[in-house]
Chain A
């Protein structure tokens, strides 16, 4: 056990910190929460990712020939910590960076890697995920969006739903049914679809937060070249699971929880209850301390997994809990803040007396969405029990 970073790594951290201090847009990216269809907002978001990439801080572990630096994972983890610490804007190309990129590196053809990976890094192409359908949520493998092979193309018909960012994405990694006769897991293929294709329509959905963040996507005879198939025909389920593994790790990030806890603690110090700060109330202190301990456990849990990654160990059952624990912890943090705020917690974002621009009510709702998205907590528990503990399948 050695929790020290090397002098080079410490120096690197300072460099990253300085870069972020000097380069983070002063007022963030502006309020992009209102649907994110604003072209100027999109341009600012892409510019931010490009800037971070050019500084060398994006997807640092990716192979050099595709725009990465083949660095050890500890460097990226330093950057990620600093990015959260500096409250830097999120990366618009997150789905490409966190989900499709790593999947393509393992499963893509050389041509696909060369074609897509560099533009993921620079935010020239933004990706969205075409998995869920109206009839296929937790039972993802029952999906019915059909792709028929005609000549050297797939012809796609059907519908996807809950597609985050579809309204500004250039490409979609998408699961389609290519063999309707086969058992449900064996007739699925993983294909890459241009969002600007004729016959493809995006319709926004309004979330419970009031924002238009995710969408329905309709396919009406959308043509996709056969070379956009990732992995083998009808064997897309295994590729899909590789992506889901990356998604689950992305959704339960520990450094984000740490920042939220610090914010909650500051809130509790600022609220007066019976003539004292709420942070001195014995009952609320218990709750704060419990949350702090759980946040700390996840911080250390991430260090443990980073160490395993550095040493090239295969992830075990400990990697299956990140999404479940991380997203529920974030929702618990926001719920504690809502309770701390009392009646004020229910003020709408545009009410002038709203606390902190409505950060906590938004976070409270949005974090529950992430408990659902990427596989609900119930599904995560099934995965842990069946794949991790080898308990018998019920289906």
Chain B
């Protein structure tokens, strides 16, 4: 019995923390926020060189062939740094879809360039209710999707579609004719979102149907949970550090019990939740039967903990925490996006209830 990160995973976590502290401090995040495409190209090249973009790509396609727990470690640290860019959506979710459901031809086309960081994939799940994309028999896709992360940069989109056999996933090359990408102006500026109109573009069905569709949602849920874990830790660290230097009534505000209790409540939420993330990621790697429920639990809990934690952390900062100039709102807004993306905590709690048969 061994529950937790291995020595290698612990090292990966430490080196990711150090790299992002140096290469992705908040001034860099703000640079990306102000840029057109919302990324840090130099950082992307660096992490690609380190093998992050190929982390879950099988070795025969040039990746590291590691699992979701390793991925969760990286995503936690990216959440800690509020790292901008398409990594979570491309290197975790879209890559997983191609690894699991792609044809040999599709894998050969995309996995190598994904691993090298030269291609970017995204995923499009949410839709405006009146325009559900349907995959026609001739392989043409019409309809549109909203909240496709980094659609502005994506070389391909993994789309959830309705076909004759129900829900499934298809892959659309964004360079093919018909696809229109529009940027959505969004409150979480550490990310970019687009609206994708497929306009009868050619789409390739991924194999695995409903169960692949489910798996990709589970992977997405765990990825978001891992990002939330790191983000909550960061909000806590920022609030605690501030409480040690800011003085009122002639003392550091951290000496007041009101602030101590707020901080301790974040810790009490965070530490057990950390185990939910590890377990859910491990279940995706090694316990397929357990994975859907574990993913639902992690998504529901971590997103709630992140939103509540950033609320408390903003409050602990007082007035300065409400300014644009202070960085805490980057995490505050990222938390809110994480909470709604792929389904709310209430949705995932209902899923837990269904999967537990009550």
A residues at B contact (CB < 8 Å): 1-5, 9, 74, 265, 268-269, 279-280, 282, 285-286, 288-290, 292-294, 296-298, 300-301, 303-304, 306-308, 310, 317-318, 320-321, 324-325, 378, 380-382, 384-386, 388-394
Complex contacts, B243 vs chain A, CB 8 Å: 391
Complex contacts, A300 vs chain B, CB 8 Å: 3, 272, 275-276, 278-279
Counting contact residues on chain B (CB < 8 A from A), the size range is 35 or more
Report if A279-B358 is in contact (Cβ < 8 Å); known contacts: A2-B1, A3-B282, A388-B267. yes
Q: How far is the CA of A113 from the CA of B252 in the complex (A)?
A: 45
Q: List 23 A-B contacts (CB under 8 A).
A: A1-B5, A2-B2, A3-B2, A3-B3, A74-B1, A265-B358, A280-B358, A285-B349, A288-B358, A293-B352, A297-B297, A300-B3, A300-B278, A303-B275, A320-B267, A324-B268, A381-B264, A382-B261, A384-B263, A384-B264, A391-B244, A394-B255, A394-B260
A297–B1 touching, CB < 8 Å: no
A392–B255 touching, CB < 8 Å: yes
- Which 8 residue pairs across A and B have the least CB separation, nearest first? A385-B260, A300-B275, A381-B264, A297-B272, A289-B349, A384-B264, A303-B3, A391-B254
Q: Could you tell me which residues of chain B, from 77 to 129, have a CB within 8 Å of some CB in chain A?
A: none
B69's nearest neighbour on chain A, judged by CB, is A1
Q: How far is the CA of A375 from the CA of B68 in the complex (A)?
A: 39
Q: How far is the CA of A1 from the CA of B358 in the complex (A)?
A: 30
**Nearest-Cβ distance from residue B93 to partner chain A, whole angstroms:** 21
Q: How far is the CA of A285 from the CA of B347 in the complex (A)?
A: 11
Known: A308-B4, A318-B271, A392-B244. 14 other contacts (CB 8 A): A285-B349, A286-B350, A288-B353, A290-B349, A294-B301, A300-B276, A301-B274, A301-B275, A307-B4, A321-B271, A378-B257, A381-B260, A381-B268, A394-B257
A326's nearest neighbour on chain B, judged by CB, is B272
**Nearest-Cβ distance from residue B265 to partner chain A, whole angstroms:** 7
Q: How far is the CA of A286 from the CA of B352 in the complex (A)?
A: 9
A1–B278 touching, CB < 8 Å: yes
A2's nearest neighbour on chain B, judged by CB, is B2
Q: How far is the CA of A310 from the CA of B279 in the complex (A)?
A: 19
Complex contacts, A318 vs chain B, CB 8 Å: 271, 274
B146 an interface residue at 8 Å Cβ cutoff? no
**Nearest-Cβ distance from residue A288 to partner chain B, whole angstroms:** 6
- Of B272, B273, B349, chain A has the most CB atoms within 10 Å of the CB of B272
B256 an interface residue at 8 Å Cβ cutoff? yes
B259 an interface residue at 8 Å Cβ cutoff? yes
Complex contacts, B263 vs chain A, CB 8 Å: 384-385, 389, 391
B6 an interface residue at 8 Å Cβ cutoff? yes
User: Which listed residue, A1, A268, A390, A393, touches B4 by the CB 8 Å rule?
Assistant: A1
B4–A293 touching, CB < 8 Å: no
Q: How far is the CA of A282 from the CA of B353 in the complex (A)?
A: 10
Complex contacts, A298 vs chain B, CB 8 Å: 272
B235 an interface residue at 8 Å Cβ cutoff? no
Complex contacts, A9 vs chain B, CB 8 Å: 1
B300 an interface residue at 8 Å Cβ cutoff? yes
B356 an interface residue at 8 Å Cβ cutoff? yes
User: Which listed residue, B251, B267, B352, touches A321 by the CB 8 Å rule?
Assistant: B267
Complex contacts, B353 vs chain A, CB 8 Å: 285-286, 288-289
**Nearest-Cβ distance from residue A223 to partner chain B, whole angstroms:** 41
B50 an interface residue at 8 Å Cβ cutoff? no
Report if A1-B260 is in contact (Cβ < 8 Å); known contacts: A290-B349, A389-B240. no
Interface of B, secondary structure class, is: helix
B260–A391 touching, CB < 8 Å: yes
Complex contacts, B282 vs chain A, CB 8 Å: 1, 3
Complex contacts, A289 vs chain B, CB 8 Å: 300, 349-350, 352-353, 356
User: Which listed residue, B4, B69, B264, B286, touches A304 by the CB 8 Å rule?
Assistant: B4
Report if A293-B301 is in contact (Cβ < 8 Å); known contacts: A2-B2, A74-B1, A391-B254. yes
A391–B240 touching, CB < 8 Å: yes
B267–A382 touching, CB < 8 Å: no
B352–A292 touching, CB < 8 Å: yes
A269–B358 touching, CB < 8 Å: yes
B297–A1 touching, CB < 8 Å: no
B21 an interface residue at 8 Å Cβ cutoff? no
A317's nearest neighbour on chain B, judged by CB, is B267
Q: Could you tell me which residues of chain B, from 1 to 49, have a CB within 8 Å of some CB in chain A?
A: 1-6
B136 an interface residue at 8 Å Cβ cutoff? no
Complex contacts, B257 vs chain A, CB 8 Å: 378, 381-382, 394
Complex contacts, B256 vs chain A, CB 8 Å: 394
B276–A389 touching, CB < 8 Å: no
B346 an interface residue at 8 Å Cβ cutoff? yes
B356's nearest neighbour on chain A, judged by CB, is A292
Q: Could you tell me which residues of chain B, from 300 to 358, have a CB within 8 Å of some CB in chain A?
A: 300-301, 346, 349-350, 352-353, 356, 358
Q: How far is the CA of A390 from the CA of B243 in the complex (A)?
A: 11
Q: How far is the CA of A1 from the CA of B7 in the complex (A)?
A: 10
**Nearest-Cβ distance from residue A316 to partner chain B, whole angstroms:** 9
B251–A296 touching, CB < 8 Å: no
B356–A297 touching, CB < 8 Å: no
Q: How far is the CA of A378 from the CA of B257 in the complex (A)?
A: 9
Q: How far is the CA of A388 from the CA of B286 in the complex (A)?
A: 33
A321–B254 touching, CB < 8 Å: no
B301–A380 touching, CB < 8 Å: no
B350–A297 touching, CB < 8 Å: no
- Of A1, A265, A269, chain B has the most CB atoms within 10 Å of the CB of A1
**Nearest-Cβ distance from residue A390 to partner chain B, whole angstroms:** 8
User: Which listed residue, A2, A294, A391, touches B272 by the CB 8 Å rule?
Assistant: A294
User: Which listed residue, A304, A386, A392, touches B252 by the CB 8 Å rule?
Assistant: A392
B264–A286 touching, CB < 8 Å: no
A73's nearest neighbour on chain B, judged by CB, is B1
Q: How far is the CA of A283 from the CA of B224 in the complex (A)?
A: 25
Complex contacts, A306 vs chain B, CB 8 Å: 1, 3
**Nearest-Cβ distance from residue A238 to partner chain B, whole angstroms:** 23
Complex contacts, B275 vs chain A, CB 8 Å: 297, 300-301, 303-304
Report if A3-B358 is in contact (Cβ < 8 Å); known contacts: A288-B353, A301-B272, A303-B275. no
A285's nearest neighbour on chain B, judged by CB, is B353
A391–B352 touching, CB < 8 Å: no
Q: How far is the CA of A380 from the CA of B272 in the complex (A)?
A: 16
